[in-house]
Amino acid sequence: MKEERNSVRKYWGQYEWSNVRTMIKNSMVDPEICPEAFGDRLVVITGATSGIGYHTARKYASQGARLLTINRNEEKSGALCEEIKRDFGVACDYRIADLSRLTEVHSVGNALAEMEAPIDVLIHNAGLYLSKRTLTVDGIEMIFAVNYLASFVINALVMEKLQAQTAARIILVGSEGYRFAVWGLRLNDLNWEQRRYTGLRAYGASKMAQLLTMLVFHDAFRGSGVTINAMHPGMVRTNTGRDNGLIYRWYKRTIIDRLSKSPEVSAEALYYLGASTTLDGVSGKFFNLTRQEELAPPARDWEVAEALWELSLKMGGLK
Ligand SMILES: NC(=O)c1ccc[n+]([C@@H]2O[C@H](COP(=O)([O-])OP(=O)(O)OC[C@H]3O[C@@H](n4cnc5c(N)ncnc54)[C@H](OP(=O)(O)O)[C@@H]3O)[C@@H](O)[C@H]2O)c1
């Protein structure tokens, strides 16, 4: 607790409150629409069997993209590819991976790294929200493992392949919820063993972690054709949170979902960020839908980002 209070003090003075007002304004604006076709290029999307990922897969397919989706459910993945081929006549394939399991994350990351075809856009979308602390089979807190660590490991494994391509875009589906982690990250308690766990705090921390190492990836990609950006997909009606108890599910259905937009809005934004030539070379940025925003101070802490990078290599079994 004391450490968190110190961190809040550390960042407090760096906040520019106009940025928070901008974020609130941006949340009411529709995304830019990209009129450019994607053409016969490849997009890889994680968690495409539901919500934002599903609508994003359809949007890319409607613009001519070839699709590779990475999901945990075989039946839903097969049905999605059938639907995409039927509706848009483009190629669609999938790989099954439970992204909470490091062995499966490694095998999907290695498979992507070994692919001959270039990956033009890689969208890390799979994610979840849990109100109760849960551990993965590897003993890692579940939200951190799925929302953050899986994408970190996959990015690290595909780094060389992407750098050898002429161009590639990585997009992290993040959340304005990273702002819940106002104290920054507690690097010595990423697993929530020493503090009271709440879903919001753990969710905020996972999305904060994603932004911090995005900065390190961005630095590592300098001079190559690879860009990496993160985005908030809006507050949209999806299946997120359905693994929680009755009270949360009631609250989501009756309050959150009523205030939320259709996930097609997020799909438009993700298409713009992946396809629009106006973003050629833009990297290391955070977008609220398609509006670029300044990151809050704890998400710009380079010292923490580098320390988290090292920890993530170890936790992710890369070191
Ligand atoms: N909805 C919002 O308002 C909102 C706001 C901000 C950020 N986001 C972010 O948007 C992303 C997509 O969420 P959503 O709202 O579209 O939720 P969703 O409808 O629940 O979709 C989540 C997707 O992730 C997959 N997934 C979950 N755990 C997985 C695991 N262990 N391994 C592999 N795949 C897994 C799900 O697979 P199954 O179909 O098998 O369950 C599903 O395809 C998340 O990163 C979320 O944090 C959402």
Give yes or no: 203 in active site: yes
Ligand 1 within 6 A of CB of 62: no
Q: Is 85 in the pocket of ligand 1 (CB under 6 A)?
A: no
Question: Quick one: pLDDT at residue 242?
Answer: 75
Instruction: Give pLDDT tens digits for 61-104.
Output: 999 999 999 999 999 999 999 999 999 999 999 999 999 999 99
Q: Pairing between strand 168-173 and 226-232? A: parallel
Q: How many CB atoms lie within 10 A of CB 133?
A: 16
Strands 291-293 and 286-288: antiparallel
Bridge partners, residue 135, by sequence: 141
Query: Domain residues for 266?
Result: 2-315
Residue 72 beta carbon below 6 angstroms from any ligand 1 atom: yes
Q: What is the pLDDT of residue 284?
A: 98
Which residues of the chain register pLDDT less than 70? 1-6
Distance CA 75, CA 184 (A): 39
Atom of ligand 1 lying closest to residue 101 CA: 31
- Residue range 275-307, pLDDT digits in tens: 999 999 999 999 999 999 999 999 999 999 999
User: Does ligand 1 lie within 6 Å of residue 199's CB atom?
Assistant: no
Q: Which CATH number is 8's domain given? A: 3.40.50.720
> What is the number of domains present in the chain?
1
Residue from 50, 106, 129, 140 whose mutation best tests the ligand 1 pocket (most atoms within 8 A of CB) = 50
